[in-house]
Each structure stands twice: as C-alpha cells, then as structure tokens.
Structure 1
Amino acid sequence: MYLISVTKSLMALGISDIDTDYNNYKHHTDSYALRYNYERNFRKKPPKSLLGDFEEHLIDQMKRFDPVHEIEGAMTLIQFFRDNEIPFCFATGALPKPAIMKLDQCGIWYDTSLLATSKTHESREGFVMDAIDRAKTFYNKEQFDTIISVGDGLWDLKTAQNLSLDFVGIGDKNKVRLIENGAENCFSNLTAFKEWLI
C-alpha cells in the first residue's frame, strides 16, 4: 500500500520513469525516492519545495486505502515505555505527515518532537542519529548507557551496525536474513520483545 502511494505520488509530480525496485535503493527513505527518481528523469536536483508537494500527494494517496493496522504489540510497548519512564523515539524513512497519519490510524501515542524522519535526513543513519538527539532533548539526558535500535529490515540492522548500536529484529519475514547478518536478538512480534525487556 505505502509503496504504491509513493509511486503514484511521484507520477503526480510528472515523474514518469520510476525505479520501483525500492528494496535495492541506496537509502530506504521517502526523500531519497523523490530525489533519486527526479534526477533520473530530469538530470537535475529537485527544487526544495517539491518535497512538501510530494508529502501532500502521499497523504492523498494513502487516504485511498484502508487505514493501516498496528503492528502486534506496538501500542502496549509504547505504553510500557511511558509507564516505566524508558526513553524512546520514533525513527522512520517516511516523511512526517505520512508517519503521523499511520500512528494516528493505529492509535499509538507520540509526540512530534520524538519523531525523526527523512524530511531532514535522507540516509537512515542520519535520521537515527537525529532520533537519538531528539530523545536526549525530550528526556533531558546528556547520554544513554544503552541504545537499542528496533527494526524489521536488513537495512535497519545495517544502520544499527554502522552506528554501533544494539539491535533487535522484529517479525518472522526477515528473521533468517537478520540472523545471518549478525542480529543476535530477534522476536516474532513486539509483545515478545516487551516480555524479553521485563
């Protein structure tokens, strides 16, 4: 659903030659998808205003689909963090408005100051570091003793490894590949991850 929305939003901006092999992109982010395909079509950098237009098109396209559903255990995990004063932050390759729309549809608590997106950082390493900085500010911490990056894709693992962060893999779809590439802790869902934390 989301990748279809990305493709149709790029088309709405007049980009016709679109590389839809999103899994093989250098960066798995909305902002990179826009820049890469724009430059591929027009041989020049996109105007800065185009990112905002792309974001609005994404919202319009997402409204054509049924609302997204919560990943099993997400809501209770966030509540567990809040109840136990465990600092956390959201880091996503999406742009802010689509990310907020999905969180709202799932009924998951968030604060926009804890939302790091690809609006300001095209690379995953960039917005994960932004997420850490945002968490330090929000929770008034100079540093964290342990930082765990949670994700379901190989690119999430690689990003954590590049930044020397602990990593937890979620979901069975990519579990074998994650373990083969060095993931030590993988869980079928976020509920199992929460139980491990307890």
Structure 2
Amino acid sequence: MTPLKDTLYIFDIDGTLTDSVPMYLISVTKAMMSLGIKDIDTDYNNYKHHTDSYALRYNYERNFKKDFSDNLLEDFENNLVTQMLEFDPVKEIKGAQSLIQLFRDNSIPFCFATGALPKPAMLKLEQCNIWYDKLLLATSMTHESREGFVMDALERAKAFYNKPEFTNIVSIGDGLWDLKTAQNLSLDFVGIGDKNKEKLIQSGATKCYSNIEEFSKTIF
C-alpha cells in the first residue's frame, strides 16, 4: 500500500466538497446574461468541457458570431460572485471540512482542481469553512479542459509540497467528466455522491461513496 504522504489527492469542488451545483449553474446562466448573452445553452451536462471559461466562450461565440476575448473572463468572474451572493451560503458535502483538516494535520498532500473560476471557487470553500491555499487551486481561468487544470493542480502540488513526483495520484470527483478525465490521465479515481453513482460504476469507477465522510473512513 502506498504511504499516504506519497499520495496526492486532487479534489473537485462543486458536488464533491461543496453542495453547490444547482445554485452555481443558475449563477453561471445569470452571469452570462449580465454580459448581454441572451441565447444560452443551459444543457451544461452535455458541454464539451464542464468549465466556466468554456461555457462563456461557447455561448458568447454562439450569440455574437465572433471570437471570444479572454478579457471578458474577469467581468464574468465578478458577475458570478455577485450572482452567488444572492443565494444562501452553500453547505459542505458531509465530512469535507473535517477531511481537509485531517489531511493538513497529517501532512497528506492534496490540492483542488475545479471547472469554476478562482473567485467563485474560493467563495464556496470559504462559505463551507474548508481550508485552501491559492497556490493549491487550479481553475478554468487558465485551462478550458479538465485535463488541463488537473495537470496544473498536479504541478502546483509538486511546487507547494516540494516533491518532484508523487508515487500515486487520486482524483476525487462527483461527475462522469471527472472520471473520464482521470481515465484519460491514468489517475486513480474516487467517486463522491449518489446522484451519478450508477453512471460512474457503469463507466468503470470501482470506488464510489455517498459523501466525503464515508470516503474518509477508508483512509483514517
């Protein structure tokens, strides 16, 4: 068995650590509307990339029939935070805050990889009292694809923990896209939540748990 301190755990955020998916999808839609995008494809589950940056570019180019400019990302990010604050604070997925704290207390390496943009991601973690460091947070600000920001998270963790390599890397997520990304990158995968559990298992996931607390019992 690989020692825990030689294993890197890469956490998705929405639906994995924070119970924020429905609220956040509404916020994404309203934030795009505030930028003048009227015809929005809200079938987010069928997007090529499940990321904020891709959602904005895809819908912007559909509406305005011209190339997307990256300088719109900052306005979109700020609009997202504004929309999120219209809702009650999000709650953690059961056991998330305590597991992250246990990882810190036991010097177990971890990082975050999310399709959200940085400010919304940090707000969700803060509302759930989940510890984070910006240096360990990889987002869709720099990569539209999940593979891109998961690899960014890995590089961030290497620098943060001063480790040139990890013996084992475990990706933890709630969506089918999280599993497919882990498979594409040859990473171990842990599924969280009951909503997509059946689809995850059908697609090859062998470790699925109802929440983070249940998963944590397999570690500690």
After TM superposition, the runs of 4+ consecutive aligned structure 1 residues lying more than 4 A away are: none
Q: How many residues align?
A: 198
Distance in 2 separating the partners of 1:98 and 1:79: 21
Q: Secondary structure in 2 aligned to 1:197?
A: coil
Matched with 2:24 is: 2
Q: Which amino acid aligns with 2:58?
A: Y
TM-score, normalising length from structure 1?
0.98
Q: After the TM superposition, which of the residue ranges 133-142 and 42-51 deviates more from structure 2?
A: 42-51
Given candidates 53, 62, 65, the residue that maps to 2:87 is: 65
Deviation at 1:56, TM superposition (A): 0.6
Matched with 1:74 is: 96
TM-score, normalising length from structure 2?
0.89
Distance in 2 separating the partners of 1:12 and 1:57: 7
* Structure 2 residue 202 is the aligned partner of structure 1 residue 180: yes
Q: Secondary structure in 2 aligned to 1:155?
A: helix
Q: Which amino acid aligns with 1:124?
A: R
Q: Secondary structure in 2 aligned to 1:16?
A: coil
Backbone CA RMSD of aligned residues: 0.7
After TM superposition, list the pairs within 5 Å mapping 1:77-92 onto structure 2. Answer: 77-92=99-114
> Which structure ranks higher in relative contact order (CA pairs < 8 Å, sequence separation ≥ 6)?
2
Matched with 2:75 is: 53
Deviation at 1:192, TM superposition (A): 1.3
Distance in 2 separating the partners of 1:16 and 1:152: 30
Which residues of structure 2 form unaligned runs of 5+?
A: 1-22
- The structure with the largest helix share of the pair is 1
Distance in 2 separating the partners of 1:79 and 1:86: 10
Matched with 1:142 is: 164
Q: Secondary structure in 2 aligned to 1:147?
A: strand
Distance in 2 separating the partners of 1:4 and 1:187: 26
Which residues of structure 1 form unaligned runs of 5+?
A: none
Distance in 2 separating the partners of 1:170 and 1:14: 36
Distance in 1 separating the partners of 2:208 and 2:70: 39
Distance in 1 separating the partners of 2:196 and 2:25: 18
- The structure with the largest strand share of the pair is 2
Matched with 2:40 is: 18
Given candidates 143, 157, 160, the residue that maps to 2:179 is: 157
Identity of aligned residues (%): 73
